[in-house]
Amino acid sequence: MQAFIQNLINGLALGGVYALVALGYTMVYGILQFINFAHSEIFMLGAFAGLFVAVALQDVGSTPVVVTAVVFASMAACMAVGALVERLAYRPLRSAPRLNVLITAVGVSLLLQNAAQILWGATPRVFPTILETQPLWQGTELVLTNVQLIVIVVSAVLVFGLSILVNRTKLGMAMRAVSFDFDVSSLMGIPTDRIIVFTFMIGCSLAGCASILYGISYPKIEPMMGVVIGMKAFVAAVFGGIGSLTGAAVGGLVLGLSESFTIYYVSSTFRDAIAFAILILVLLLRPSGLFGVVRKEKV
Amino acid sequence: MTPPVLEVQDLSISFGGLKAVAGFGLTLRPGALEGLIGPNGAGKTTVFNLLSGVYTADSGRFVLDGADLRGFSAYRISHAGIARTFQNIRVFSHLTVLENVLVGFHQSIRYGYWDAFLLTGRFRNDEAAMEQQALALLERVGLASRAGDNARDLPYGDQRRLEIARALATHPKVLLLDEPAAGLNTVEKEQLMGLIAKIRDEFKVAILVIEHDMKLVMGICERITVLDHGEVIATGTPKEIQSNPKVIEAYLGVS
């Protein structure tokens, strides 16, 4: 029983990170109907930004100050890069076919990977210990660490905050309106370009926060680190129903949990294989994902 | 005489070799209720698309309260004070009725992004005030009782009225209604036209309406502009229009 709970905790902590990244994919898809493949590189850049700030603040003793500074620096860096990518790479293609934008996204992703390799080298770096891992609660087979608790709580708070922003505020309403009908939204006085940049920035800031949570738990930072996480988060978003915020959050958690249980009960070698098999099975039964709605093509 | 709120001069646009609208002109005074009619394909909806910023005119100008808006993007034209509805209804069908109207209030937001993030008092006051105003608009078009329903669940006629409420939420000086009565039965049509006339009085907004039903247009519009093959062929009171030989020719053809 304790082992089960342990895996539940591990899975939630991992799933929380997936969920935050998955939200970025799903938000951009919801509003522009394309997969922003560069999102995984935003995650990677966030980790590097956090790394540099953490190194710079090494002499500051206070843990809460450093952690907060690192998280906010990473989120801010990701927002800036996200806004820039949208402005320079995606906006000029606004009325181009979706496929063109998709290919551009792949290009931006490669560009950022290679730029990071040129700037910082391909050798993995160690993310500084900005937060000492300590057990908060210990049973015979069960440990809940402060890091795990922070990851779970922060992810939950961000997901909750995002859902309030999207569902309760006029900003979120504008985002939903734009995602439904671009032209009519602008005719109703919504500055669609601004709303789109804003959507990118929110999604990217979540990826930035996720990268720090991930860096604290798995302190290895390198230019290709976004690829696997990004792919898993993307799958989580599709699994949950791309375009649906609830779907991305739940999809991330399910993926994290299935990985952690597979590692314990089956084999760590098969963790990705089995996790993905579950996803494929769900998609066979529900092609639009768990919370996805079948969208009729607009004529 | 009061100065016009909207003055359109010589507005033209071509698609490829086709002159869709050529030299279109129109003057709307504050609180006017005028009609735009013409046979199918005459370019009526294209005129609306030009005036609302969906298309940018090749030449000409349209001046709203002293500012030439040609070349402005759709959202800035909306901010300037021109709002419209659509011939084929385009409500946000997955949003609630209330939310549809709230979308129209977007430009009235005064709080910034940080207010929204930090849930400041200003943010909450603004949100609450706008919801009140949106409900008042729904009340006005008779949809208050359905505020919480999804827009797609409304009957056709109600969706048309919802579009009008949404357009009014942008605080327009000029309201463009594209065939608001299309697909309605006779009773609904008369109610709607009554509503339009009342809205004009209450909101002090100038209204330009495209409508096929002659009886309706003649009944409520003070002046009518007739369009054929992209060009204005007549302007005048309903009476003048009815007896204008060019109009009769455009509608019935020459024998």
Does A165 touch chain B if contact means CB atoms closer than 8 Å? yes
C-beta atoms of B53 and A185 within 8 A? no
Does A31 touch chain B if contact means CB atoms closer than 8 Å? no
Range of the domain at A208: 28-226
pTM strictly above 0.95: no
Q: How far is B254 from chain A (nearest CA, A)?
A: 37
Q: How far is B228 from chain A (nearest CA, A)?
A: 26
Q: What is the pLDDT of residue B60?
A: 93
Q: Which two tokens stand for residue B9?
A: 């001069």
Contact list in A for residue B94 (CB cut-off 8 A) is 176, 180
C-beta atoms of A186 and B93 within 8 A? no
CATH number for domain B6-91+171-252, candidates 1.10.287.110, 3.40.50.2300, 2.50.20.10, 3.40.50.300: 3.40.50.300
Contact list in B for residue A184 (CB cut-off 8 A) is 86, 90, 92
Q: Which two tokens stand for residue B40?
A: 């199918």
C-beta atoms of A184 and B86 within 8 A? yes
Provide the 10 A C-beta neighbour count for residue B195.
16
Does A135 touch chain B if contact means CB atoms closer than 8 Å? no
- Quick check: is A241 in a domain? no
Mutation pick from A75, A160, A170 vs chain B, by most beta carbons of B within 10 Å, is A170
- Quick check: is A83 in a domain? yes
C-beta atoms of B103 and A185 within 8 A? yes
pLDDT tens track for B149-191 = 999 999 988 999 999 999 999 999 999 999 998 888 888 888 8
Pairing of strands A220-221, B33-37: unpaired
Half-sphere exposure of B92 (CA within 13 A, CB side): 29
Does A55 touch chain B if contact means CB atoms closer than 8 Å? no
Mutation pick from B48, B99, B103 vs chain A, by most beta carbons of A within 10 Å, is B103
Which runs of consecutive H residues, i.e. helices, occur in chain B? 44-52, 74-80, 97-104, 113-118, 121-141, 156-168, 186-203, 214-220, 238-242, 245-252
**Total tally of structural domains belonging to chain A:** 1
C-beta atoms of A184 and B117 within 8 A? no
Q: Which two tokens stand for residue A287?
A: 């092609």
Rounded (to 5) percent helix, strand, coil in chain B: 45, 25, 30
Does B203 touch chain A if contact means CB atoms closer than 8 Å? no
C-beta atoms of A186 and B53 within 8 A? yes
Q: How far is A132 from chain B (nearest CA, A)?
A: 30
- Quick check: is A23 in a domain? no
Q: Considering chain B, tell me which residue range(s) the CATH 3.40.50.300 domain(s) occupy.
A: 6-91+171-252
3-state secondary structure A10-44: HHHHHHHHHHHHHHHHHHHHHHHCCCCCCHHHHHH
Does B106 touch chain A if contact means CB atoms closer than 8 Å? yes
C-beta atoms of A170 and B127 within 8 A? yes
Does B48 touch chain A if contact means CB atoms closer than 8 Å? no
Does B131 touch chain A if contact means CB atoms closer than 8 Å? no
**Could you tell me how many residues make up chain B?**
255
Does A186 touch chain B if contact means CB atoms closer than 8 Å? yes
> Counting beta carbons within 10 angstroms of the beta carbon of residue B147, is it exposed (0 to 12), middle (13 to 18) or buried (19 or more)?
middle
Q: What is the pLDDT of residue B1?
A: 67
Q: Which two tokens stand for residue B234?
A: 């007549």
Q: What is the DSSP letter of B209?
A: E
CB B103 within 8 A of CB B71: no
C-beta atoms of B92 and A171 within 8 A? no
What ipTM did this prediction achieve? 0.84
Q: What is the pLDDT of residue B117?
A: 67
- Quick check: is A184 in a domain? yes
Query: Roughly how many angstroms between the first and final C-alpha of chain B, as a whole number?
Result: 42
- CA-wise closest residue to A39 among A29, A53, A48: A29
| Tens digits of pLDDT across chain B (255 residues) | 688 999 999 999 999 888 899 999 999 999 999 999 988 888 999 999 999 999 999 999 999 998 999 989 999 999 999 999 999 899 999 899 999 999 999 887 777 666 766 777 788 888 888 899 999 999 999 999 999 999 999 998 899 999 999 999 999 999 999 999 888 888 888 888 889 999 999 999 999 999 887 778 888 899 999 999 999 999 999 989 888 888 888 877 765
Q: Locate the chain A residue with the closest alpha carbon to B125.
A: A169
Q: What is the pLDDT of residue A255?
A: 92
C-beta atoms of B103 and A180 within 8 A? no
Does A73 touch chain B if contact means CB atoms closer than 8 Å? no
Our CA dihedral for B241, B245, B251, B255, rounded to 10 degrees, sits at: 170
CB B170 within 8 A of CB B78: yes
Q: What is the CA radius of gyration of chain A?
A: 19
Rounded distance between C-alpha atoms, residue A88 and residue B255, angstroms: 59
| Tens digits of pLDDT across chain A (299 residues) | 788 999 999 999 999 999 999 999 999 999 888 999 999 999 999 999 999 999 999 888 778 899 999 999 999 999 999 999 999 999 999 889 989 999 999 999 999 999 999 999 999 999 988 888 888 888 777 888 999 999 999 999 999 999 888 888 888 889 999 998 888 999 999 999 999 999 999 999 999 999 999 999 898 999 999 999 999 999 999 989 988 899 999 999 999 999 999 988 888 888 888 778 877 888 898 888 888 766 544 43
Q: How far is B96 from chain A (nearest CA, A)?
A: 11
CA distances from A265 to A13, A89, A269 (A): 18, 45, 12
Does B99 touch chain A if contact means CB atoms closer than 8 Å? yes
Provide the 10 A C-beta neighbour count for residue A167.
12
Rounded distance between C-alpha atoms, residue A4 and residue A142, angstroms: 9
C-beta atoms of B75 and A177 within 8 A? no
Task: With residue B49 as reference, give the H or E element that holds it.
Answer: helix B44-52
